Amino acid sequence: MSKETMSRRDALRIGALGTVGVAMLTASNAMAAAPTEKDVKFDEEYDVIVIGTGFAGLAAAAKAAERGYKVLILEKMGRVGGNSVINGGGMAVPNSSWQKKYGIEDSGEMFIKDCLKAGLGINHVELLETIVKRSQDALDFSIKCGAKWQDVKPAWFGGHSAPRSLVTDNMSGSGVIKPMHEFVEKLPGCKIMTRTKMDDFVMSADGTSVVGVTARINYRFDPKLLSDDVENKTGEKKVYKAKKGVVLASGGFSMDKVFRKIQDPRLVEDMDATNHDGATAGALLKAFQIGALPVHIDWIQQGPWASPDERGFGVAPLLTQQGLFKFGVAVDVRNGKRFMNEMADRKTRADAEYVILREAPKMYPVAIGTYNTFEEQIYPIIEKGLAAGGVMKKFDTLDALAANYKIPADALKATVKKYNEDVKNGVEDEFKKQTLKGESLKELKGGDPIDMKGPFYAIRLVPKPHHTMGGLKINTKAQVISANTNKPIPGLFAAGEVTGGTHGASRLGSCAIADCLVCGLVAGENI
């Protein structure tokens, strides 16, 4: 039997026998449909299989395991946590008990309105309503799992019309992932396998339901490949049964050099993103092949708070979001002037930066502030920013700062002076930088937001692919909807960035944790 003539079913029958002929299998299986349970022999059997170990995957696994299910969690990378573990640790909880504690008025309607505004009105409102209904539960569940959140007034993230975001104690998603990972590992019948890549779904004999997955153990992701999902042949084939179903929580595809470029040809192969290397579309694309519906697949959010002077997410986002953007300014180096509302939604700000970068490539705009510009909880990060390969620079005077970035110094000084005055006087500035429910920036921060005595801190800015809004269509029970029935695919749930619709054209900051934990929890409850 040659490789060419071997059928998919033959191939899978061989596959179930062990690791013989793995390379051949992988090649032959490359374009075949998902196998059915008749085509495979299961190596192991579980109640629930979860793909991915980010917020969504761990929440789903924890909830399912807590319900007494035997759960297998597959993670293709060598470490647990996907993008979640390098996330900034902010979680929007609209109309929460924490807001009430700090006297902040909010409502589910306000939250949905904010999301629809940023999302250009194409958001799936029923999924936003699910976040409104369940984000307090999801927060409480994370705390039950051991996550620690700063017990301070909720933070105000860009595009939100109220301060409604909690931040983990360590200002990182790892503050949720690590305890949740430990929680899951302690639960009986819960097993995490890293370096295990899901290859495909296994369908019921009639092709209608998901009953398991094929996977490879001892797989090694290779970031040097153009398309790891297609080209990587490492590992040994295994077939796992999922009696209750599969939860797909495989994340987004901001690092998928092929698929992201198909959606936006401007995202060239070597373009950096804030994501970990493994953020590719492979599992999502397999879901489309069993009938999952693609939603909003071309909306790729670019983080406007990233730096060209470090790889990946880095430390710049925290320093800008909780400091230089919030109370400082971002200026166009060509004229020393502000060019955007530094607290607008991500798309608005990334677009504003692109206007400059298209006119003058590499003339990265610069975010500027002083020590007091930063939120107190961010102070420990300042040294990291100054240390980490020069992401943030420190200057004694605005003249020195201007000279370094070739900004017209007088224009820059005038910009900072006017900004300070506007804040002091509670005047709405030219870009209508947001104020909190009528409070002016002045009331948030005493004195000049940028201390003219210096020293001055500066970070160069570049938008980086950060979050893929698109994905597969789910309902409010986290069930994946089939193109063939317009009803749920039995046995298939999905949660987190692999799904689409919730955030429409642009996700607001701190809505990822909310979305992932809520839908993960919901999937774990409903499976």
* CB closer to its own copies, 425 vs 485: 485
**Cβ atoms of 265 and 222 closer than 8 Å:** no
Closest CA to 177 of 85, 83, 268: 85
Residues found near its own copies in the complex (CB under 8 A): 4-8, 11, 28, 30-34, 36, 38, 121-125, 203, 205-209, 226-227, 230, 258-259, 262-266, 281, 285, 288-291, 293-299, 470, 473, 482-486, 489, 501
Element (H, E) at 184: helix 174-186
Q: What are phi and psi of 232, to 5 degrees?
A: -75, 120
Residue 132 is which amino acid? V
Specify whether 134 is catalytic. no
The minimum distance between CB 41 and its own copies, in angstroms, equals 17
The minimum distance between CB 503 and its own copies, in angstroms, equals 12
Cis omega (within 30 of 0) for bond into 455: yes
The minimum distance between CB 57 and its own copies, in angstroms, equals 22
The minimum distance between CB 110 and its own copies, in angstroms, equals 19
| 496's tokens | 């987190």
* CB closer to its own copies, 188 vs 486: 486
Catalytic: which of 346, 349, 460, 507? 346
Residue 459 half-sphere exposure toward CB, CA atoms < 13 A: 35
**Cβ atoms of 469 and 507 closer than 8 Å:** yes
* CB closer to its own copies, 248 vs 378: 248
The minimum distance between CB 515 and its own copies, in angstroms, equals 17
Rounded to whole angstroms, how far apart are CA atoms 89 and 176? 8
DSSP 3-state percent helix, strand, coil across the chain (nearest 5): 35, 20, 45
Question: Exposed/middle/buried for 67, CB within 10 Å: 0-12, 13-18, 19+?
Answer: middle
* CB closer to its own copies, 157 vs 221: 221
* CB closer to its own copies, 123 vs 307: 123
Would you call 245 helix, strand, or coil by DSSP?
A: strand
Q: Where are the beta strands (DSSP E) in 52-170?
A: 71-74, 90-92, 165-167
* CB closer to its own copies, 65 vs 267: 267
Which residues are identified as catalytic?
Answer: 346
